[in-house]
C-alpha cells in the first residue's frame, strides 16, 4: 500500500509506503490490513518497521514518512503541515501496489489541532480566520484485504 495525505495539492505527508520493504525484504510485510491511528509521536513507533507475521495491525504509530521505500530518511511526516492553516482541500491518495489489488480502504478520518484545540474542518465558504498555526494531530484509518487471501512471497 502507498497512502499519502495532501493539502491543496502543495504539501504532502507519506502515511504508508510499502510497509516493511527494505534491501533484504523486497515485498514488505504480509498484513491482512491496518486499523491504525497515525501521529508523528505514535507510541508504536515507525509503522514502516513494525513487523506482524499475519493479521491486522492495530494501534497508534508514526507514519512512514519515506518518499523512497528503502530510505531511512523520513522527510514527509505529518509535521509538514505544522504552521499551515487548516482550511483548504485535503486529499487522501491510496494505491494498492501489490499484484491483484487485494486491499481496500474501509474508512478514514482526519483530526486537525490548532491554537483553539481540536476542531472540525470548516465548511466551504466559512470564515477560517481562527485557524492560526493549525497542524495535523493524527489520522485514523482502516485498510483490509478484500478476500483475506494469504500474502504470497
Tens of pLDDT, residue by residue, the chain (153 residues): 889 999 999 999 999 888 888 888 887 877 788 889 999 999 999 998 888 777 888 999 999 999 988 888 999 999 999 888 888 899 999 888 777 667 778 888 888 877 665 555 544 444 333 332 333 445 555 555 544 443 333
DSSP letter for 13, please.
Answer: E
**SS3 for 47?**
helix
Report the distance separating Cα 60 and Cα 63, nearest Å. Answer: 9
Which is it for strands 33-38 and 56-61: parallel, antiparallel or unpaired?
parallel
Q: What is the pLDDT of residue 87?
A: 86
| C-alpha separations of 58 from 20, 29, 43, 152 in Å | 16, 14, 12, 22
User: What residues does each domain of the chain span?
Assistant: 2-145
Report the distance separating Cα 72 and Cα 85, nearest Å. Answer: 29
CB-side exposure of 19: number of CA atoms within 13 Å?
28
| pTM, two decimal places | 0.73
Amino acid at each position: 500500500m502507498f497512502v499519502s495525505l495532501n493539502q491543496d495539492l502543495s504539501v504532502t505527508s507519506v502515511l504508508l509506503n510499502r510497509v516493511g520493504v527494505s534491501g533484504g525484504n523486497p515485498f514488505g510485510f504480509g498484513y491482512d490490513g491496518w486499523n491504525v491511528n497515525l501521529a508523528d509521536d505514535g507510541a508504536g513507533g515507525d509503522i514502516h518497521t513494525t513487523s506482524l507475521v499475519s493479521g491486522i495491525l492495530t494501534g497508534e504509530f508514526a507514519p512512514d514518512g519515506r518518499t523512497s521505500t528503502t530510505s531511512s530518511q523520513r522527510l514527509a511526516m505529518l509535521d509538514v503541515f505544522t504552521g499551515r492553516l487548516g482550511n483548504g482541500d485535503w486529499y487522501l491518495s491510496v494505491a494498492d501496489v501489490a499484484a491483484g489489488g487485494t486491499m481496500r480502504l474501509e474508512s478514514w478520518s482526519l483530526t486537525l489541532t490548532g491554537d483553539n484545540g481540536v476542531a472540525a474542518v470548516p465548511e466551504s465558504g466559512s470564515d477560517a480566520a481562527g485557524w492560526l498555526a493549525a497542524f495535523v494531530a493524527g489520522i485514523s484509518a482502516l485498510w483490509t484485504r478484500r478476500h483475506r487471501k494469504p500474502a504470497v512471497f
